[in-house]
Amino acid sequence: MAGTGGWREALSVYADRRVVLILVLGFASGLPLLLVYSTLSAWLSLEHVDRTAVGLFALVQLPYLYKFLWAPLLDHVPPPLPIGQRRGWGICIQLLLVASIVAMGTLSPTRSLFAMAVLATIVAFLSASQDVVIDAYRVELLGQDQQGAGGAVIQAGYRIAMLVSGAGALIIADRFGWFAAYATMGVLLSLGIVAFLVAPEPAHPATPRRVGWLDETVVAPFRDFMDRHGWAAILIFVVGYKLGEAMAGAMATPLYIDLGFTPKEIGYVSKGFGFAATLIGVFAGGSVVARMGAVRALLLCGLLQSAGNLFYILQAAAGHDLRVLALCVAAENLTGGMAGTALIAYLSGLCRQPFTATQYALLASLAASGRVLFASSGGALSKAMGWEGFFLGTTLVTLPALILLLWMHRRGAGGRPTLR
């Protein structure tokens, strides 16, 4: 019964008002992404924009990778709205985002392609900046015992928003036009403004004075992180933890197509089983963090994430079998969601005020670098190794990161309370 009570207590954290607010902010954080990615690509393609130009629009997403460069300004420069550092910047950025998204909907790709590219870049920049503020706000608002739940709900809100701004926006555009689709997304984004208005402002201590503004704003966050024991090992671990999942995920759809699945079959299974399994995974991961602590949760969820890649081998052996496809998609999304929540909780525990925005943005960018830099080798490796050999490799490639985590834990790397 004691164990049951412990898990019940771990699950009860999701009822906290602050955690619910983070869910809404996670929705606001995820909503703009597809509006400058796949939804925008669909719009351009339907308007018969040249395929080369459509491909170049992917460059507007660069702000998501480099948001840590201007994160120090959001940490220290006072916002135009004097209602707190996080809430003030959050609401200002969201108001600009709503206006920019609605403005995109008024344009015609065939007549105003350059203007659309400029606006899409502005939306991506504002969206990345919003992510910086919301991540910092989440870390500062929630206690150490709530970071797992915070990581779960931020992912859940983000995933729900991507479904709305992806499939939802396409359905609205098909019936009522693209302006209606983008205007609706702008209205939905205002939920984030409401959340910030009713939310409390976390304490935000002043930066200790050193040499000058540049030093304390730009240099100090990185110096603070590098002053910790084992900081280089932490960075290596962050890059490697989800590397295997990223490599496998990049080649999942080519595997399915090679086995004879149609895009319609892949879409239905991914949107149905995949979406549900991800939501279950992120909340389960948050409960595991609350029950076991960040390090043990990272180890358990990391092992499960690696094991999830073995289902691709089962799929390759089974061939065109929809039941195995559903199992494969569910297993990958369930374990990936759990590992993602554990990693977010760990990264959150590494951040220190008053540098939260800068340090989390840097760590999050490093965590994404595996997907961007290394997953691109998946095509060549799968051709050389075959499907079974490739996915076995993606199962094993994360193990060094887990061994490194154990090594860091034994030597107290990072020195944070969540490393227990």
- CATH of residue 234's domain is 1.20.1250.20
One domain for residues 27 and 175? yes
**Are residues 136 and 276 both part of a single domain?**
no
Name the percent of the chain lying above pLDDT 70.
91
Which pLDDT score is estimated for 15? Answer: 78
Backbone angles phi, psi at 100, to 5 degrees: -70, -40
Is the pLDDT at 220 greater than 70? The verdict is yes
Cβ-contact 39, 166 below 8 angstroms: yes
- Cα dihedral sign, 132-222-414-372: positive
Collapsed DSSP state (helix, strand, coil) of residue 94: helix
* Residue 247, pLDDT above cutoff 60: yes
Answer yes or no: is 415 within a domain.
no
Residues 28 and 161 in one domain: yes
* Residue span of the structural domain in which 148 resides: 13-204
Q: In terms of domains, do 48 and 77 share one? A: yes
- Cβ proximity of 202 and 141 under 8 Å: yes
- Looking at residue 7, its pLDDT comes to 58
Residue 200, pLDDT score: 93
The reply to whether 6 falls in a domain is: no
**Are residue 341 and residue 262 in the same domain, yes or no?**
yes
Tell me if 8 is assigned to some domain. Answer: no
pTM score, whole prediction: 0.82
Residues 16-33 pLDDT 10s: 889 999 999 999 999 999
Kindly give the interhelix angle for 310-318 and 243-258, rounded to the nearest 10 degrees.
Answer: 10
Q: What is the pLDDT of residue 61?
A: 82
- Establish how many alpha carbons lie within 13 A of residue 110's alpha carbon, considering only the half-sphere containing its beta carbon: 4
Q: Determine the pLDDT at residue 129.
A: 97
Indicate if 220 and 199 belong to the same structural domain: no
Residues 200 and 220 in one domain: no
Note whether residue 417 is domain-resident: no
3 in a structural domain = no
Residue 160 belongs to some domain of the structure: yes
Return all residues near 145 (Cβ < 8 A) that are at least 6 apart.
13, 290
Does 46 share its domain with 100?
yes
Q: Which band of pLDDT confidence, cut at 50, 70 and 90, is reported for residue 420?
A: very low
The whole-number pLDDT of residue 2 equals: 44
pLDDT tens-digit readout, 374-383: 666 777 888 8
Q: Are residues 132 and 183 located together in one domain of the fold?
A: yes
Last residue of a domain, one of 159, 184, 204: 204
Whether 1 maps to a domain, the answer reads: no
Is the pLDDT at 210 greater than 60? The verdict is no
How many distinct structural domains can be found in the chain?
A: 2
Same domain, 185 and 88: yes
Task: Quote the pLDDT of residue 48.
Answer: 87
Which of 148, 178, 204 is a domain's end point? 204
For residue 76, the model assigns a pLDDT of 87
Listed residues 204, 229, 250: the one ending a domain: 204
In this predicted structure, the answer to whether residue 403 has a pLDDT above a threshold of 90 is yes
Instruction: Tell me 271's DSSP state.
Output: I
Residue 209 lies in a domain: no
User: Between 2 and 65, whose confidence is greater?
Assistant: 65
Q: Are residues 194 and 264 in the same domain?
A: no
Say yes or no to pLDDT of 416 above 50.
no
Whether residue 396 sits in one domain with residue 260: yes
